[in-house]
Amino acid sequence: MSNKQGQLETLDEGEPPFILVDKSKKRLAKQKGKVQEKLLRQSNGNARASSSTGIDRATATKERLKDILAKLCPISISNALHILPKFPYFDTLNFDKIYQVGDSISDTGNLIRESPIGSLTPFARLPYGETFFKNATGRCSNGLLMIDFIALSSGLPLLKPYKEAEANFSHGVNFAVAGSTALPVETLAAMNVLSPVTTSSLDVQLDWMHSHFNSTFQSQTGLVIHSSGSK
């Protein structure tokens, strides 16, 4: 029998000695089972609490990121003019036009207007352009480029790509093409270097610029600009 006050096992009269050993084993096994069950419940509770905390933190982080993106990604140019910093340096220059050459860090839509590859590039569809323009503009970004920030900080409209038909170039032109190279493609080909995206290298962009200046100047003055570098 079990002495509950002293928690000692004793033999009933007539019980063989091995009964005491058997009772002790059963009692220890029962206690061990209770301890294991308690530890299991605590473990499951901690796991649920940890999972709940993880979900709460993930949700809070997601909401915080959404709030940050909402502030950094305005839906209109007019809103951008209010939040972008004004740099006194740009104000002192007093320029009213910007002319840009370059590659993917500056292209605002020339590559996607080139055939046959341009319209098939990823930059012609979302997610490119989704956070600011809400559609793909040909920029290799989901938002604005550095040249966009420079234009806005200077009080000028965003530069239109040279290949955009009937675009307003009164405040400058963007000749940059994503994937373009500094050296002509012919020079690179002679060195077994391929330019698979575009053939509009820097010299081609400078030719575009010359043609644009020539047509603009001629329409204003009736004169023609000559350049030995023009093709």
Per-residue pLDDT of 124-173, as tens digits, reads 889 999 888 889 999 999 999 999 988 888 888 999 999 998 899 999 99
The residue behind tokens 């793909």 is: 136
Report the percent of the chain where pLDDT is more than 70. Answer: 56
Is-contact 84 153, C-beta < 8 A?
yes
Q: Residue 224 above 60 pLDDT?
A: no
Mean pLDDT of 82-105: 74
The residue behind tokens 């220890």 is: 28
- Which residues lie below 8 Å from residue 139, measured CB to CB, with a gap of 6+? 107, 108, 109, 123, 128, 129, 133, 145
Q: The whole model's pTM is what? A: 0.59
Q: If pLDDT is split at 50, 70 and 90, which confidence band does 201 have?
A: very high
Report the percent of the chain where pLDDT is more than 90. Answer: 37
Q: Give bridge partners of residue 38 from the DSSP assignment.
A: none
Q: Residue 9 above 50 pLDDT?
A: no
- The residue type at 135: N
Is-contact 23 16, C-beta < 8 A?
no
Q: What is the pLDDT of residue 117?
A: 82
Q: Residue 37 above 70 pLDDT?
A: yes
Q: Give bridge partners of residue 2 from the DSSP assignment.
A: 9
Which structure tokens are listed for 229?
């570098």
Tell me how far CA of residue 197 lies from CA of 9, 147, 178, 210, 216, in angstroms: 89, 22, 8, 23, 30
Mean pLDDT of 18-23: 50
